[in-house]
Every structure is written in structure tokens, then in C-alpha cells.
Amino acid sequence: MPSSVPTFDDLISSCATAVHLEMRDSYAVDYEEGPFAQWRAGFRHDPADRASWWRPWLDVIQDTAERGAAVKRARIVSEPVSEYTRFLYDGTFTNVAAGEQVRWLPRRQASDIALPGNDFWLFDDQWVHWNHFSGDGASLGEEITDAPAAAKLCADAFRTVWERATPHEHFTTG
């Protein structure tokens, strides 16, 4: 990657806006161990016990929001929602506590939206950070571009999704 392309850390630490669109119903699910397996076994984070669920990623989001940047995440989800989506939903209060705004859009309401082929972060409507995944949700890496057509596609898609989506506090997983 050329040195003129900023890293994700550079972008999130200096942006005025950061938006993230997630479009998969699961991401690298480990059914045997880890947070998803613990959730399946009945574990739920206690919102009152912040020390037990706070993690470094939430520090990044909190720092970004506290310096005045808008951080928004939208998730397009199938209905009925997958077990993994319920897992994500149950843990989303941590993102909100860190200062992120989160909305959910049922996939059937996204049919007429021109969406990119991959999940992305978009910084200041200019830099796109693509997230590439395998069919089973394993991360295949990232790509960062400031190609104007890609940035416009992502900005337009995110705005439309955001307008249609339901804020986290009003969304239910059924």
C-alpha cells in the first residue's frame, strides 16, 4: 500500500464523520468457544458492570466521539434475524455506550438501494475502508481507497440506509 494511503487508525483518529455499513448475517462464527459460544450458553453482559465488557475498540470509538466526530453504524439484517444477529444486537449497547449511533434495517427494506458488494467504513465522505470476508465470514483483509466513485456509492448507500433504518433503542429482534 502506498504511503499516501492513510491507515484505518489514521482515518478514525482524524475524521469528522465515520460511518460503517454491515450487511452480513454472521461474521466468523466460532460455535465452540469465544464470545458467541458464551452467549449461546446464556452469558449476557451486565450493562451496570462496565469494567466487564469494556474493550480497547470501545476506547477508540469513545475517543472519536468525544472529540466531536459523528460515528454511525448501520446493519442490514435478514428477518427473521439469525442467531448471530441476536448476539450482535444483545451486545450493541456497548457500542452505544461508547458514543456510536446504531441503526438496523431489515433486508427487505433495502431491495431498491444501490449497495456496494462489501461492508465498509467511510470517513468524511472521502476514504472508503472495505472489509473483505469469505463465505463463512472469516476476514480476508481490507482495502482503503479514495476513489471518488466508490466514496459516492458508499455515501449515497449509507445515507439511504440510515434514513430508513430503525434506531437501536427502537429495534427488536423478535
Q: What is the pLDDT of residues 48-66, one digit of tens each?
A: 999 999 999 999 999 999 9
- Going across the sheet that includes 119-123, the strands are 139-145, 127-133, 119-123, 17-22, 70-77, 101-106, 166-167
**Cα dist. 154→2, 27, 68, 96, 135 in Å?**
22, 21, 22, 22, 22
Q: What is the pTM of this model?
A: 0.94
- 135-173 per-position pLDDT tens digit: 989 899 999 999 999 999 999 999 999 999 999 999 999
SS3 content of the chain, % helix, strand, coil (to 5): 40, 25, 35
Q: State how far the Cα of 7 lies from the Cα of 11, in Å rounded to an integer.
A: 6
Domains in the chain, CATH or no CATH each: 8-170 (3.30.870.10)
